[in-house]
Amino acid sequence: MRKKLLLGNWKMNKTPREAKEFALASKEMVDYAIAHDIDVGVAPTYVCLQTVKENADPRLIVSAQNVNEHDHGAYTGEISIPMLQELGISWVILGHSERREYNGETSEACNAKIHALLAARMVPVYCCGESLETFEAGKTKAWVEEQIRVGLAGIAPEDAASVVIAYEPIWAIGTGKSATKEIAEDTIAFIRGILRDMFGDVADAMRILYGGSVKPGNIAEYMSEPDIDGALVGGASLALDSYRGLIEGLVK
């Protein structure tokens, strides 16, 4: 049985003061989620990681939104795994479509980062998903398969168990046009099939999230599907009330 997971992707939102306010007020919400056997977390910007980690319930997962695969060195503007570890951060989102689009992050680059994270016993949340053009051309599965096979190449099955996958169709991100639960399940079941081909039975233990305009009002629909294990949520994860609504939707 895979444990449900809600991860809020805060993107470039919240100052450290705002992030601290959320962290301080999140205790009761985290209690509620844990009582219902749901993992919950947020991914703040780098400058907010420490304050969220220090002020939130220790059971709130705090994830970075990116990392560099090198431990240290001449990589201006980058953040390393040991830096995150010193703050107690062990989760990192990789390959988000916004980073693929605006920062040239490729599946090959994500693969190097995933190897580095797994060597450090950390949890990569690897994102995949297709554009509207690819979706309309009926090429979603070929696109996503390439992203999964390249991003997870060379990973040992025993390490793969801790990798989280997020399927986020780009046309559904921040647009209000969420994929139907049938479309999400169809692609996510397909992804699980690829994972089974790559890692055998370990695929059944790997969590796959849906992301793209998930809201308190629609999250329960996705959870009724057998292969969808939770959600990666942007806009609706920012306000406490809405975040709490997402957890309530997961509990249903």
Task: Determine, following the binding rule CB under 6 A, whether residue 213 of this chain makes contact with ligand PGA.
Answer: yes
Q: The tokens of 23 are what? A: 């962290």
Question: What does the alpha-carbon distance between residue 99 and residue 89 come to, in Å, rounded to a whole number?
Answer: 20
| Residue 126 Cβ vs ligand PGA, minimum distance, rounded to whole Å | 13
Alpha helices in the chain (DSSP H): 16-25, 27-35, 46-55, 81-86, 97-102, 107-119, 132-136, 140-151, 157-160, 181-199, 219-223, 240-251
Which of 202, 233, 246, 250 is close enough to bind ligand PGA by CB under 6 A?
A: 233
Tally of CB atoms within 10 A around 200: 11
Binding mask 8-37 for ligand PGA (x = CB under 6 A): -x----------------------------
Task: Determine, following the binding rule CB under 6 A, whether residue 230 of this chain makes contact with ligand PGA.
Answer: no
Report yes or no: 168 and 212 within 8 Å, Cβ to Cβ: yes
Question: What does the alpha-carbon distance between residue 28 and residue 56 come to, in Å, rounded to a whole number?
Answer: 10
Query: Which CB sits closer to ligand PGA, 193 or 245?
Result: 245
Task: Determine, following the binding rule CB under 6 A, whether residue 68 of this chain makes contact with ligand PGA.
Answer: no
Question: What does the alpha-carbon distance between residue 94 and residue 114 come to, in Å, rounded to a whole number?
Answer: 8
Task: Determine, following the binding rule CB under 6 A, whether residue 232 of this chain makes contact with ligand PGA.
Answer: yes
Task: Determine, following the binding rule CB under 6 A, whether residue 168 of this chain makes contact with ligand PGA.
Answer: yes
Task: Determine, following the binding rule CB under 6 A, whether residue 188 of this chain makes contact with ligand PGA.
Answer: no
Which of 212, 216, 230, 249 is close enough to bind ligand PGA by CB under 6 A?
A: 212
Which DSSP symbol is given to 172?
Answer: G
Task: State which residue has the least CB distance to ligand PGA.
Answer: 234
Task: Determine, following the binding rule CB under 6 A, whether residue 124 of this chain makes contact with ligand PGA.
Answer: no
| Residue 137 three-state SS | coil
Task: Determine, following the binding rule CB under 6 A, whether residue 174 of this chain makes contact with ligand PGA.
Answer: yes
Which of 114, 173, 246, 247 is close enough to bind ligand PGA by CB under 6 A?
A: 173
User: Would you name the residues annotated as active-site residues?
Assistant: 96, 168
Report yes or no: 242 and 216 within 8 Å, Cβ to Cβ: yes
The owner of tokens 């957890």 is 247
Instruction: Give the interface segment with ligand PGA, choosing from 59-67, 69-77, 200-208, 233-241 (CB under 6 A).
Output: 233-241
Footprint on this chain of ligand PGA (rule: CB under 6 A): 9, 168, 173-174, 211-214, 232-236
